[in-house]
Chains A and B, each alone.
Chain A
Amino acid sequence: MVSQIEEAFMFLLDNVIYKDILSVEHLLIKEGQTTSLFGPSGCGKTTLLRLLCGLISPTAGQVLYKEQNMEELDLVLHRKKVIMMPQISHAFPGNLRDNLNIGASFQERPNFTDAQLDNMLEQVSIKDKNLEDNPELFSGGEKQRLALARILLLEPEVILLDEPSAALDAQIEETIMGLLNAYKKQHQMTYVLVTHSEKIANAYSEVIVYMDDGRISRIEEKTS
């Protein structure tokens, strides 16, 4: 236990309760790893992600981010470092360039250059698209990759992924997970991934947290 705490951690949940939806006695999310939250729908996985990015606060208990109690953090600042990708990605009004730059505009940072944007589109395998194109016309898979590109451009420390490929077919799911995995290796990223696919959880994560009815039923650490 002691040795576990001494390791660098991103998040530590201590006796966290959120309404009657979630109750977590103890959970450690380590830096540089992918932690998957696996379980049936309605078991509190998404609620846990929302707690981690500070969209909601626990009813009781505390969530630590890098040893700091999140209750004491400026949550707007926190959400610049810990970005959540929702299950369904919305395209914002404007063309593809506007959509890719919207994170920068939200965070009041300068826009990215077209070269940076093109490079990112290549990384997320959005091909044959022009920066002037209207993303409303993109397919579900393309919109999802656009949402991912939008987040990666902001270079967060942690990405919280809420079933990033649930609405997509298996092949696109593989592509997205492959992309995320490659990016993680390059940038030492920390991911928390909500999934209801055990296959995805097994293939891409170091830690699998099994959840049921708002509680953690088992934690499996993979030794590779």
Chain B
Amino acid sequence: MKDVSFLQLAFAYLFMVIVLVLSYRTKVGREKEIVIACFRMTVQLIAVGYLLTIVFANPNPVWTILIIGLMGFFAVDNIKKRIRGNISEQFKRIIALSMWISSLVCLLYFVLIVIGISPWYNPQYFIPVAGMIFGNSMNGIALGATRLIKGFEEQAPRIETALMLGATPKKAAMPILRDAFDNALMPTINSMLGMGIVSLPGMMTGQILAGNSPLIATRYQIGIMLAIAGSVALASALLVEFGYKTFFNKKDQLQEMTGCRK
């Protein structure tokens, strides 16, 4: 791949100058955020670049597992921050479990069985693939969880009407559960639809820039896309299937925190 020097890279910051000028001239007032975001992006990526160089040069299962663990931890933390309003401890646990189970199952299946990497902890494969799977599952869960909470808040009277007619909690909440699952999965399905036509995905672009054959890059991309879809679907299903229960108590009554009346 053609090398890019820091000097050359400096010219790319011209784009940020344009953004800043636009923000200032149109009185959007986001200059501070733009500078911070740009600075953090630069520092974080350079740091990761050095970190990965070291990790790739010294493959070690402990490092691989540690990095995967950190990625998962930050993904779960990010979801909790993205969801506004009060969420119960129980629901937080369901979020973490959905994230970990779905991502690990799909990650391990993809790198160990589909690609068949060797040694099994090879960080060069494990870490980028984990990043993509964790990132997408994180988005899916955040969308699904937000929808679930909103549904229970807004539709408490309708859920109670269903309970009054003898519905089980699951039956009473079913429309909300379907809606949450749908919301979690839609972005992944939409991105699959547009893939290759509207966008050349990051992983594939990277491989092509690095000089790999587009045909191999495509195969990787298809595989990773399927793994992502699988992980998002599994995560959403777990979230919905176990998450709704946290809105009810053991006596099949709607918990009061979801905003139902006296």
Contacts and interface: CB of A to CB of B under 8 A. Distances in A.
B254 interface: yes
A80 interface: yes
A55 B165 contact: no
Interface residues of B, number: 21
Contacts of A92: 158
Contact of B253 (A46, A56, A88, A90): A56
Nearest to A19: B262
A55 B254 contact: yes
A102 interface: yes
Nearest to B249: A57
B81 interface: no
Most chain B Cβ neighbours within 10 Å, of A55, A103, A105:
A55
B164 A83 contact: yes
Nearest to B164: A84
Contacts of B252: 75-76
A192 interface: no
A76 B164 contact: no
A105 B158 CA distance: 15
Nearest to B261: A46
A53 B160 CA distance: 11
A150 interface: yes
B163 interface: yes
A109 to B, nearest CB: 9
Contacts, number: 64
Contacts of B180: none
Contacts of B172: 106
Given A86-B160, A89-B161, A90-B161, A75 B168 contact: no
A70 to B, nearest CB: 9
Interface string B230-261: 00000000000000000000011110000001
A39 interface: no
B164 A107 contact: no
A90 B171 CA distance: 16
A150 B262 contact: no
Interface in A91-123: 92-93, 102-103, 105-107
A57 B254 CA distance: 11
Contacts of B165: 79, 83, 102-103, 106-107, 150-151, 154
A47 interface: yes
B46 to A, nearest CB: 53
Contacts of B161: 86, 89-90
Nearest to B167: A106
Nearest to B158: A90
8 contacts: A47-B262, A56-B253, A57-B251, A86-B161, A90-B158, A93-B175, A106-B167, A154-B166
Given A55-B253, A76-B169, A105-B171, 11 more contacts: A55-B163, A55-B164, A83-B164, A84-B164, A86-B161, A89-B161, A90-B161, A106-B162, A106-B166, A106-B168, A150-B165
Interface of B: 157-158, 160-169, 171-172, 175, 251-254, 261-262
